[in-house]
Amino acid sequence: MAIVMVIYELARQRYPHRLPPLSTRALPPSALSSALGALKDINYVEIVEMLEDEILKIPPDPVVERLLGELYKAISANIDVFRTSGWEAFSAIYQRLLSETYRKAYATFYTKLPAAKLLAELAVESADDVVADPACGTGSLLLSSFYVRLFHALSPSRVEEELSRGRKEPLIDRVFRSLLSKTIGMDALRAALALTVGNLTIASQAVKRGPLNMYHMPVGTGRAGSLDMLRPIEAEGLPEKERLLGKMTVVLMNPPFTRSDRIPDLIGDVARKALLNVDLEFGGRRLSDIFVAGLAKPFMALADKLLMDGGRIGAVLPNSILNRPTWADVREGLMNRYMLEYVVVSWAEGIPNFSSDTLFREILLVIRKRGKNDSSEKPLRIINLLEPVDELSEEEVSIIAHSAKAGKRIAVSPTGRVLAEIAEVHKSILKKWPDNLYRLMAFKSRELLEWHMAVLDACCVLLDDIFTVGSVVDHSEGLTIQKRELAALQPDVESYEAVWGSGCDVVRSMKIAHTHIILVADPKRAKVKFWKNLSNYMAEIFVPRRLQLDTQCVLAFTTTRPCISNVWWPLKLGDKDNRLVLKLLCFMNSVFGLIHLLGERLETRGLWVEFKKSHLRGMPIPDFRRMSLMDEEEERLRTLMTVKLSRLDKYVEYMASIERAVGDWRSALREALSRDDEYKPRAVLDSIAYAMLNRLCPTLMPPDKLYELLLNEIRTLRSIMEPRERRANVVKDKGYTRTRIAQKSLDKWLASSDSD
């Protein structure tokens, strides 16, 4: 009701003789319906058609009529406030009124308004941009793009040009109509789309106009919402594809995030199977397993089809797009036909997301579609936000966007707060190592990111070029695990030596004996029958598979005899040079190795890291074959092999404190080497690791505050994945409980609804 009243009041100021004021004492629904009819005569058709039936459902009641009158009185008295910020308020109210069942069913997690504004500022370049959002919801991205384009349209040179044409109609009305004609929205929810239409009407001051380009794209047994644009289908309300495909200069979107197993509950069998039979592409690369990453992959394919050459996609996406195997085909398309322009990452405390009420990490991504003969290049800019995105003001959002576009290294608020750090990554590095783009957001510190990128660019080869990666025993079913000192071997039961588990209580030095004995208690129940191909599982060199980095004492080690493991990848050395093993162990267990693993990991949560086998094989590592190791360095390393090492986070904290006292990391390292304490062995590793790196790549210069930067990184990663006020203001209902117990597919739900 409120949004109708705001639009009516704005339109009444334009047409006072055609739209009389409504009653502020008692406002019957019938009077409100008549007001809608008067609006329709002027031409606000979509608003009226979407809402008139709902208003007529309100029963006549004196209390309701009094409340409607009071609502209209409040709106008419504060119309100037609603004129500028009404759309934000209505969008927020709508989202908070949605029950959790409804949100999960339609994956409706709206974009936080400051994030929407930042994405629009980065992606929109001109008042002439034609902007589409194929999953527009309540329109936060479209409204943000509207205001960015309005800013461009009212630039002094453009205003002067328009005024010189001497037209009688007010300039602002011409601008409003032009922007509305270049705004396209689609959504599965009719109510959300109605709100988008209302919000755009408010933003354009209820200017008289033709119908907006807003399309209700329902989901159902045979419908897939906006994704119907990807397949040959004729259906009511479907826009003409020729008018849209390949015509957009900007596509902004926050595609519906949902788990793959929920897809059948969102899109019916007929539509889902039809989409699976379409050859979807992104960036000229065919997409496979299109629903394995939820609905985001097919929406990327739709954005690609909507976009003209030279256009930009601005999207809110899960960070998994950067390195998970399920997104490999999308990354290939990115490298093939797109230029990465901006990646925005949140490093503020809490869940680093840009959508409401989600519990996973997200990024803002802006990419430009290359033309066929377009070879232009410019560096990718990584924007690391240091403040919670939902606490940024509109002015601060603009400062961040303009700082990034201008190539500044930091964005500073008017009060002197650093809002964001901005790093640049050159395309040559992206092309050289395209498989894992997560490294772009692996570090809050610009200096650590640029150090890591420099190491990759100058010093690295694929791990698979030097080592062969074996397999892990990642299921214990059918096995009996015994600690070495408590092991009781059983006759006729196969047993194997293993390193089982991680952490300082399991692995404390770079050379260890086995820690456990694994008995094959029930061969039939065992999911991993490693004994049938034992050579693939056993090795003497191990690196992490999945563990929490900061709680380790060792990040790579060797064993006295071949072992198997559950959380450490076994490596085998093709080269006979045993010095390679020493170089690997020295580097991996130094702070330089810790930084490298932080940069190359698959993030799970905070400082938990994961390396899948294919990911590890393709991971860049320093070319140890070309690294020189001095005889005295080799001797020192061999004496350290069985020495118990201190915990990594404690060591970094210790070194940072020395660094603060003496000024830089080199001085801190010299000081640590002069002390005879528990941290000296790690300092020796750092010293030799850097010496090897420096001989291999002499131009590399670590940041002066290396240990302090790394300590801050560890502390930040500990904090960013803890939700702040989790699930605050979420309306729960009984349906959510029922849905958790047993979810129906959409086909069955529709069928049961029809029979009720």
Task: Kindly state the DSSP code that residue 496 receives in the 8-state scheme.
Answer: E
The phi, psi pair for 143, rounded to 5°, reads -65, -40
Which of 277-291, 364-378, 501-515: highest mean pLDDT?
501-515
- What structural domains and CATH numbers belong to the chain? 2-77 (no CATH), 93-441 (3.40.50.150), 463-720 (3.90.220.20)
pLDDT > 90 fraction of the chain, expressed in percent and rounded: 53
pLDDT of residue 639: 97
Among residues 300, 262, 369, 77, the alpha carbon closest in space to that of 739 is found at 262
Rg, the chain, Cα only: 30
> Any residues with CB less than 8 A from the CB of 41 and at least 6 apart, and which?
18
Which pairs with CB-CB distance under 8 Å and at least 24 residues apart come from 276-282? 278/230, 278/231, 280/230, 281/333, 282/329, 282/330, 282/333, 282/334
The phi, psi pair for 665, rounded to 5°, reads -70, -35
Confidence label for 464 from pLDDT (cuts 50, 70 and 90): very high
> Any residues with CB less than 8 A from the CB of 736 and at least 6 apart, and which?
99, 100, 101, 104
pLDDT of residue 468: 96
- Write out 412-456 in H/E/C secondary structure: ECCCCCEEEEEEEECHHHHHHCCCCHHHHHCCCCHHHHHHHHHHH
Query: Is the pLDDT confidence value at 117 over 50?
Result: yes
Least confident of 41-50, 59-68, 296-305, 464-473: 41-50
Q: What is the pLDDT of residues 379-388, one digit of tens each?
A: 999 999 999 9
Q: How large is the average pLDDT for residues 145-168?
A: 89
Confidence label for 738 from pLDDT (cuts 50, 70 and 90): very low
Query: Is the pLDDT confidence value at 733 over 90?
Result: no
Query: Is the pLDDT confidence value at 262 over 60?
Result: no
Q: Which two tokens stand for residue 218?
A: 């329902």
Query: Is the pLDDT confidence value at 152 over 70?
Result: yes
Number of other CB atoms surrounding residue 5 within 10 Å: 22
More confident residue, 266 or 597: 597
Question: In angstroms, what CA-CA distances link 245 with 179, 304, 306, 620?
Answer: 19, 9, 4, 39
Q: Tell me the C-alpha distance between 484 and 13, whole Å.
A: 84
Q: How large is the average pLDDT for residues 576-602?
A: 93
Question: In angstroms, what CA-CA distances link 262 with 73, 87, 268, 277, 748?
Answer: 44, 31, 11, 19, 14
More confident residue, 289 or 91: 289
Query: Is the pLDDT confidence value at 100 over 80?
Result: no
Query: Is the pLDDT confidence value at 68 over 90?
Result: no
Q: How large is the average pLDDT for residues 239-243?
A: 85
Measured between its terminal Cα atoms, the distance across the chain in Å is 29
Among residues 252, 226, 295, 311, the alpha carbon closest in space to that of 115 is found at 252
pLDDT of residue 731: 34
Which of 227-241, 336-350, 557-571: highest mean pLDDT?
557-571
More confident residue, 42 or 203: 203
Which of 266-270, 663-667, 732-736: highest mean pLDDT?
663-667
Confidence label for 95 from pLDDT (cuts 50, 70 and 90): low
Q: How large is the average pLDDT for residues 372-382?
A: 82
What CA dihedral angle connects 205, 206, 207 and 209, to 10 degrees?
A: 140
Q: How large is the average pLDDT for residues 239-247?
A: 89
447-464: burial string, b at 16+ Cβ within 10 Å, e else: bbbbbbbbbbbebbebbe
Which of 29-43, 97-111, 559-573: highest mean pLDDT?
559-573
pLDDT of residue 23: 84
Q: Tell me the C-alpha distance between 441 and 687, whole Å.
A: 28
| Helix, strand or coil, per DSSP, at residue 227 | helix
Q: Tell me the C-alpha distance between 460 and 547, whole Å.
A: 24
Q: Tell me the C-alpha distance between 171 and 505, whole Å.
A: 73
Confidence label for 98 from pLDDT (cuts 50, 70 and 90): low
Query: Is the pLDDT confidence value at 94 over 70?
Result: no
Q: Would you list the DSSP string of 79-142? A: HHHHHHHHHHHHHHHHHHHSBHHHHHHHT--PBPHHHHHHHHHHH---TT--EEETT-TT-HHH
The phi, psi pair for 301, rounded to 5°, reads -65, -40
Q: Tell me the C-alpha distance between 140 and 91, whole Å.
A: 8
More confident residue, 29 or 235: 29
Confidence label for 548 from pLDDT (cuts 50, 70 and 90): confident
Query: Is the pLDDT confidence value at 29 over 80?
Result: yes
- The number of residues in the chain equals 756
pLDDT of residue 677: 96
Q: How large is the average pLDDT for residues 414-421?
A: 95
Confidence label for 45 from pLDDT (cuts 50, 70 and 90): low
Name residue 150's amino acid.
L
pLDDT of residue 502: 94
Q: Tell me the C-alpha distance between 388 and 349, whole Å.
A: 7
Query: Is the pLDDT confidence value at 756 over 50?
Result: no
- Give me the residue label for tokens 């191990």: 542
Q: How large is the average pLDDT for residues 234-249?
A: 85
Query: Is the pLDDT confidence value at 99 over 50?
Result: no
Among residues 357, 388, 355, 390, the alpha carbon closest in space to that of 110 is found at 355
| Helix, strand or coil, per DSSP, at residue 400 | helix
More confident residue, 429 or 287: 287
**Alpha helices (runs of H) in 247-369, residue ranges in sequence order:** 263-266, 269-276, 296-306, 328-337
Query: Is the pLDDT confidence value at 416 over 90?
Result: yes
Q: Tell me the C-alpha distance between 374 and 166, whole Å.
A: 39
Query: Is the pLDDT confidence value at 239 over 90?
Result: no
Kindly state the helix (H) or strand (E) to which residue 569 belongs, with its residue range: strand 568-573
Q: Tell me the C-alpha distance between 228 and 627, whole Å.
A: 55
Confidence label for 675 from pLDDT (cuts 50, 70 and 90): very high
Confidence label for 551 from pLDDT (cuts 50, 70 and 90): confident
pLDDT of residue 258: 59
pLDDT of residue 180: 96
Question: In angstroms, what CA-CA distances link 14 with 81, 147, 506, 687?
Answer: 17, 21, 76, 75
Q: Could you tell me if 459 and 693 are in contact, meaning their C-beta atoms sit under 8 angstroms apart?
A: yes
Question: In angstroms, what CA-CA distances link 330 with 299, 334, 337?
Answer: 11, 6, 11
Query: Is the pLDDT confidence value at 209 over 90?
Result: no
Query: Is the pLDDT confidence value at 113 over 80?
Result: yes
pLDDT of residue 729: 37
More confident residue, 173 or 744: 173
Ramachandran sector of residue 76 (left: φ over 0; alpha: ψ -120 to 50; beta: rest): alpha
Name residue 243's amino acid.
R
Query: Is the pLDDT confidence value at 740 over 60?
Result: no
pLDDT of residue 109: 66
Q: What is the pLDDT of residues 680-707, one digit of tens each?
A: 999 999 999 999 999 999 999 999 999 9
Kindly state the helix (H) or strand (E) to which residue 746 belongs, with its residue range: helix 746-755
Confidence label for 257 from pLDDT (cuts 50, 70 and 90): low
Q: How large is the average pLDDT for residues 214-236?
A: 85
Query: Is the pLDDT confidence value at 632 over 90?
Result: yes
Query: Is the pLDDT confidence value at 556 over 80?
Result: yes
What CA dihedral angle connects 721, 722, 728 and 732, to 10 degrees?
A: 80
Query: Is the pLDDT confidence value at 674 over 80?
Result: yes
Query: Is the pLDDT confidence value at 31 over 90?
Result: no
521-531: burial string, b at 16+ Cβ within 10 Å, e else: eeeeebebebe
Confidence label for 92 from pLDDT (cuts 50, 70 and 90): low
